[in-house]
A = this chain, B = another copy of it.
Amino acid sequence: MPSAAGRGQGQDRRPENEDSSAADDYAKERYGVSSMIQSQEKPDRVLVRIKDLTLEKADEEVWVRGRIHTSRAKGKQCFLVLRQQQFNIQALVAVGQHASKQMVKFAANITKESIVDIQGVVRKAYQKIGSCTQQDVELHVQRIYVISSAEPRLPLQLDDAVRPEVEGEEDGRATVNQDTRLDNRIIDLRTSTSQAVFCLQSGICQLFRETLIRKGFVEIQTPKIISAASEGGANVFTVSYFKTSAYLAQSPQLYKQMCICADFEKVFCVGPVFRAEDSNTHRHLTEFVGLDIEMAFNYHYHEVVDEIADTLVQIFKGLQERFQTEIQTVSKQFPCEPFKFLEPTLRLEYREGVAMLREAGVEMGDEEDLSTPNEKLLGRLVKEKYDTDFYILDKYPLAVRPFYTMPDPANPKTSNSYDMFMRGEEILSGAQRIHDPQLLTERAKHHGIDLEKIKAYIDSFRFGAPPHAGGGIGLERVTMLYLGLHNVRQTSMFPRDPKRLTP
């Protein structure tokens, strides 16, 4: 039996239309709309997690808080599906000792997505309940109180929002388009798919940092409001800053490099990166999360490339180990081959990539950059030949990289720079940076950059600078490509693009 405290907080606001019948309602204390939880009291009540409601708890009396996922009244019974994050259970309110017909009616009228507290007994289900995650048990409801009501008209249905596209097309059943999802992100984020995507994304950040801290890296915080546009001023957002104006950082690179010049040796940072590019593609955002690395090396930038590649490999392995449930959940809606990678990571030179593309019929010059279709094609060719979804392309043509990229001493047309790819799409761009102020000045001039504007940058290297290299990873892209999703807006909680600033 519930204790006095077990009654919970002020369950005395009765639905008004029930008042007339309240007199002959023997269950009237057992349901209702709870008064708003304002921290009136600290009841001595344990709320059990839905995922923990298994056969082991059979015949136990429990309190559970969850959302009404679906509700179906049928004569003297009402079947509810009660949801909590990625888990759900069937709950039955049936006229009998605990529930009156008024109580069943009340339960049946609770709007979907409302949050309720239920006291009930866990019972073995007569047969497996295929539509719930908790298939072996159901909850026989003894008390039900609404904690927070949802408005009756939902902007989208959760069941529609997790339906695979194909199934929707074949059966003519509803799916939800992307703008509706994003406009009503709070509801869309409640789906099992979204819950899984963003738990996994949290895991990527965690694994990234865990790995780097183990490798002796230090986390730094770099400013986002900067006084000068880092790369010449294109694609940069302007901010009004008191009586002057400033810019939003397009990358933390200058600051990472300053930390290297300040002897931190190995640094990383995780933070927003801003790009005022009017690109409306599946993989561009105007604000995304950068996982950035910079590291002093001894003699060869491959020391850094190896550390970065291993960090990504540790992320892939960690996800496999710790987030298998989430990967499976997402694949129910978005089926996809498991992500494959090699150890150590495959490293191809740019010229080798170009040769593979030419062999496949692509015409391109030695110093030409990879187009997006060619990137994807090369990804497929590499997958066929080497059976990996992750590889490094090293030694890019000097001509297609920024001015601060270290030229390759062995070949005037190439550079000590690299990109990394997942499923044929770029997720990291990096290079050995020029640490010599004289060469940096020459290269900036060669690129026609106004030296006055980058004076502070060049001056950073005048007081002894170790050779160093680094790179920046796009978090949303890694999440998207690891899970085999098709739009970076699926892996950004509140995406920003040239046309979207809300919610």
Instruction: Spell out A's residues near B (CB within 8 Å).
Output: 8-9, 36-43, 45, 47, 65, 67, 84-85, 113-115, 147-151, 154, 185-187, 189-190, 194-195, 198-199, 201-202, 205-206, 209, 213, 218-227, 237-242, 244, 246, 248, 255, 258-259, 261-265, 270-272, 274, 276, 278, 286-287, 289, 298-302, 406-410, 416, 432, 435-436, 439, 456, 460-467, 475, 492-494, 496, 498, 501-503
Is the pair B225, A286 in contact by a Cβ cutoff of 8 Å? yes
Residues of B within 8 A of A189 (CB): 258-259, 262-264
Given the interface pairs A238-B240, A264-B189, the reply to whether A224 lies near B224 with Cβ below 8 Å is yes
Q: What residue in chain B is nearest A268 (Cβ atoms)?
A: B202
Q: How far is the CB of A107 from chain B (nearest CB, A)?
A: 15
Residues of B within 8 A of A242 (CB): 276, 278, 498
Is the pair B195, A220 in contact by a Cβ cutoff of 8 Å? no
Is the pair A198, B226 in contact by a Cβ cutoff of 8 Å? no
Listed by A's residue number, 25 A-B pairs whose Cβ atoms lie within 8 Å are A37-B467, A38-B407, A38-B409, A38-B432, A39-B406, A41-B299, A45-B299, A65-B466, A147-B467, A148-B467, A150-B463, A150-B464, A187-B262, A189-B264, A198-B218, A199-B218, A206-B213, A221-B492, A224-B224, A225-B286, A237-B241, A242-B278, A255-B494, A271-B271, A456-B503
Tell me the interface secondary structure of chain A in the complex: loop
- In the complex, given contacts A223-B272, A237-B240, what are 13 additional A-B residue pairs having Cβ atoms less than 8 angstroms apart? A38-B409, A39-B302, A41-B300, A45-B299, A67-B263, A113-B464, A148-B465, A195-B263, A198-B218, A220-B493, A225-B287, A225-B496, A271-B271
- Find A416's partner among B38, B206, B410 (CB 8 Å cutoff): B38
Q: CA of A243 to CA of B455 in the docked complex: distance in angstroms?
A: 31
Is the pair B464, A148 in contact by a Cβ cutoff of 8 Å? yes
Q: CA of A226 to CA of B246 in the docked complex: distance in angstroms?
A: 17
Most buried by B among A278, A300, A464: A464
Is the pair A198, B40 in contact by a Cβ cutoff of 8 Å? no
Q: CA of A463 to CA of B147 in the docked complex: distance in angstroms?
A: 12
Residues of B within 8 A of A276 (CB): 241-242
Q: How far is the CB of A377 from chain B (nearest CB, A)?
A: 29
Q: How far is the CB of A456 from chain B (nearest CB, A)?
A: 6
Is the pair B190, A466 in contact by a Cβ cutoff of 8 Å? no
Q: How far is the CB of A306 from chain B (nearest CB, A)?
A: 11
Given the interface pairs A241-B501, A262-B186, the reply to whether A301 lies near B39 with Cβ below 8 Å is yes
Q: How far is the CB of A419 from chain B (nearest CB, A)?
A: 17
Q: How far is the CB of A209 from chain B (nearest CB, A)?
A: 7
Given the interface pairs A9-B299, A41-B299, A237-B240, the reply to whether A147 lies near B185 with Cβ below 8 Å is no
Residues of B within 8 A of A432 (CB): 38-39
Q: CA of A186 to CA of B458 in the docked complex: distance in angstroms?
A: 12
Residues of B within 8 A of A42 (CB): 299-300, 302
Residues of B within 8 A of A65 (CB): 298, 466
Is the pair A223, B416 in contact by a Cβ cutoff of 8 Å? no
Q: How far is the CB of A410 from chain B (nearest CB, A)?
A: 7
- Find A258's partner among B185, B298, B299, B300 (CB 8 Å cutoff): B185
Residues of B within 8 A of A190 (CB): 262-263
Q: What residue in chain B is nearest A40 (Cβ atoms)?
A: B409
Is the pair A219, B237 in contact by a Cβ cutoff of 8 Å? no
Q: CA of A420 to CA of B222 in the docked complex: distance in angstroms?
A: 26
Is the pair A115, B466 in contact by a Cβ cutoff of 8 Å? yes
Q: What residue in chain B is nearest A436 (Cβ atoms)?
A: B36
Q: How far is the CB of A317 from chain B (nearest CB, A)?
A: 18
Is the pair B464, A222 in contact by a Cβ cutoff of 8 Å? no
